[in-house]
Amino acid sequence: MTHSMVKSLLLAVSLTLSATASADLGSMLGNTCAGCHGLNGASAGETMPIISGLPRDFIFMAMKEYREGTRGSTIMGRIAKGYNDQQIAAMADFFARQKRTPATQKFDLAALKRGEKLHIKRCEACHRDNGTSMALDMQPLAGQWAGYLNIYMGTCRDPKWKSRHPDAMTVICSDLDAEDVAALAQFYASQK
Amino acid sequence: MTIANRRDFLRLLGSASLVAWGIAPRRASAAAKAKVIVIGGGYGGAIAARYLKMGEPEMEVTLIERNKRYVSCPMSNEVVGGEASMDFLTFGYDKLERQGIKVIFDTVEAIDPQARTVRIKSGKTLNYDSCVLSPGVDFEWGDIEGYDEAAAQIMPHAWKAGPQTVLLAKQIQDMKDGGTFIICAPDDPFRCPPGPYERASLVAHYFKRHKPKSKIIILDNKTKFSKEGLFKQGWKQHYEGIITWHGGDAVKRVEPKTRKVFTEAQTYQGDVVNVIPNQLAGKIAHLAGVVDKSTGWCPVDFATFESRLQKNIYVIGDATESPMPKSGYSANSQAKICVSAILARLRNEPLTEPALTNTCYSLITPDHGISVAHIFELKNGKLSLVPGSGGVSPMDATPEFRRLESIYAHSWYKNITTEMFG
Ligand SMILES: Cc1cc2nc3c(=O)[nH]c(=O)nc-3n(C[C@H](O)[C@H](O)[C@H](O)COP(=O)(O)OP(=O)(O)OC[C@H]3O[C@@H](n4cnc5c(N)ncnc54)[C@H](O)[C@@H]3O)c2cc1C
């Protein structure tokens, strides 16, 4: 078990009264997200990320960063400010427990090839196993909506986007052109 | 307590997760034998029916809806502005039926809260243990002299999506270049507070491309409106000289034949006139005795959304009297609270503290979106905003930010309607 997992377990346990109360709170809070992120986080909208089955710590940290304004967003910053750590932990538990549901989408073969090459050259070191890996609480990219991945990488390339993306992402994305980004997005979206 | 490994942790959570509603049924209980009737298959009712069935698959859940197909108000301004077709707004109930929800297409004519029965137009009477009412709004006909249901065939409201939307879209398409489109905005509270101003924006977008000499006048009794700063900034940016808003001047009378609108101060001549009348809870709520006559809306207990006037009737959506904006998102959020409360009561379990939110996107152009978010908390029976949270999009945002919000508006629509209709 990783150090961060131990930390988050302790947090989860100390912040909740009982497992049942936590689960009820988690589904109560998690259900409010469905209007935008889909039933149980299985987004049907191609630019809204699927959040079912993401690593618990990833969701927990992302929500905290949104709340503190260190992660760029259009609306999530305003929303995350409505929740305390305990509530965010309960939501993270809820979505981490949901079955991961890959999106059904269409691909362009040429883009997939180009994406795979770029992946091997630039991204594989962190986003291992074709982006399926959740090691180090990494957000898995496989099966995610290409529309969302495209936007996310686009914001990494935009110097005006006030955010503290992991620095590596900013550096790695900065010299990719729009076609590269779209190809990578398609590649990860096509992986299961 | 020590947790040895991830598996133990998962087991600890798992014992809870398997029983959490929304994931799997808890156990065979009184809830499984209960009968719940949901009235109205819109943004509130469709979600209530679906979550009841997911939470307790054995339970008899009946949805009674007047229309075979639901036509969404959200995104209907895109149809009025010629950007989308009616197909984009129209949904059927077949997936709900496949989930085991009994769907009856009929109009509810009476509810007897003492006998716990519902009478439908075809003559049948149905029993319930709990009844969820999500009938939406009806109009205060008569507030504006000369405006009634017949007048709405000439000056459409298009505030219930369907034939009215088609009529308004057609009038706008048929209007001559150089014509005037008048929108009469309603008084608070009404369904979709930013709606009239979004409508003005998307029609202005259409005029700019197809009828550039045309103008839009918004007549409004209110002196301020939802997302006002963002709308006005967007209008200045895209529609300078096309849209004018006259606040603080009430529309008193309309003359459908001549398409004239009379306010306290002036007379306006329109070519197309969109009168959005003042609103109140849907008629069936009045017949059921769940409406506070002094306000026209339904008071509820915010921990459960049970009516404060009649036991075992839960009112959600636009019909409720609440500090939440009357939006599809609010109706969706409220539906989940009442489902959670109905199931907890049938199972004799404590209530979970309610979580209520609203998110609402508006389009100023198809590529310029703005939003508002609200997160509510319940304190001493009162709903209020969590301090420091929510609010509207920033005033100084980049075009890219606005573009992203317009993109998210569409994914929001896809997700919320998929959650409702499968
Ligand atoms: C132009 C416009 C744009 C909008 N845009 C947005 C938006 O972008 N985002 C957003 O969140 N909200 C938006 N809204 C608001 C949204 O449409 C409403 O808040 C939402 O529909 C409320 O849900 P409801 O369940 O209360 O009512 P409805 O969705 O209206 O559903 C009520 C249902 O009950 C049925 N019914 C009523 N009485 C009976 C009866 N006696 N028997 C049987 N059936 C009955 C009706 O046929 C109807 O299907 C918009 C509204 C308008 C007008």
Grouping H, G, I as helix, E, B as strand and the rest as coil, residue B387 is coil
- A27: buried, middle or exposed (CB in 10 Å: 19+, 13-18, 0-12)? buried
Mean pLDDT of chain A: 88
Task: Let me know the angle formed at the C-alpha of B70 by B167 and B360, rounded to the nearest 5 degrees.
Answer: 85
For the stretch A124-169, pLDDT in tens is: 999 999 999 998 888 999 999 999 999 999 888 887 776 656 678 8
Would you state the structure tokens that stand for residue A102, as one six-digit string? Answer: 């890959």
**Given CB atoms, is A48 within the 8 Å cutoff of chain B?**
yes
For residue B43 and ligand 1, the question of a CB distance below 6 A is answered with yes
For the stretch B95-107, pLDDT in tens is: 999 999 999 999 9
Nearest protein Cα to ligand 1, atom 45: B40
Looking at residues B342-367, what average pLDDT do you find?
Answer: 96
Asked if residues B371 and B395 have their Cβ atoms less than 8 Å apart, the reply is no
Task: Let me know the angle formed at the C-alpha of B353 by B352 and B354, rounded to the nearest 5 degrees.
Answer: 105
From the CA of B61, how many Å to the nearest CA of chain A? Answer: 19
Would you state the structure tokens that stand for residue B354, as one six-digit string? Answer: 């309610």
Check whether B13 has a pLDDT greater than 70: no
Please count the other Cβ atoms lying within 10 Å of the Cβ belonging to residue B401: 21
Which candidate in A6, A17, A78 is best for mutational testing of the B interface (most B CBs within 10 A)?
Answer: A78
Looking at residues B243-268, what average pLDDT do you find?
Answer: 97
The reply to whether omega before B189 is within 30° of 0 (cis) is yes
List the beta bridge partners of residue B274: B183
For the stretch A83-134, pLDDT in tens is: 999 999 999 999 999 999 999 999 999 999 999 999 999 999 999 999 999 9
Residue A19 is nearest to which of B12, B333, B375, comparing CB atoms?
B12
Percent of chain A at pLDDT > 70 equals 86
pTM as predicted: 0.93
Dump the DSSP string for A89-114.
HHHHHHHHHSPP-PPP----HHHHHH
Q: Are residues B411 and A43, on separate chains, in Cβ contact within 8 Å?
A: yes
For residues B107 and B127, what is the distance between their CA atoms, to the nearest angstrom? 16
For residue B204 and ligand 1, the question of a CB distance below 6 A is answered with no
Residue whose CB lies within 8 A of the most ligand 1 atoms, among B77, B138, B192, B227, for a mutation test? B192
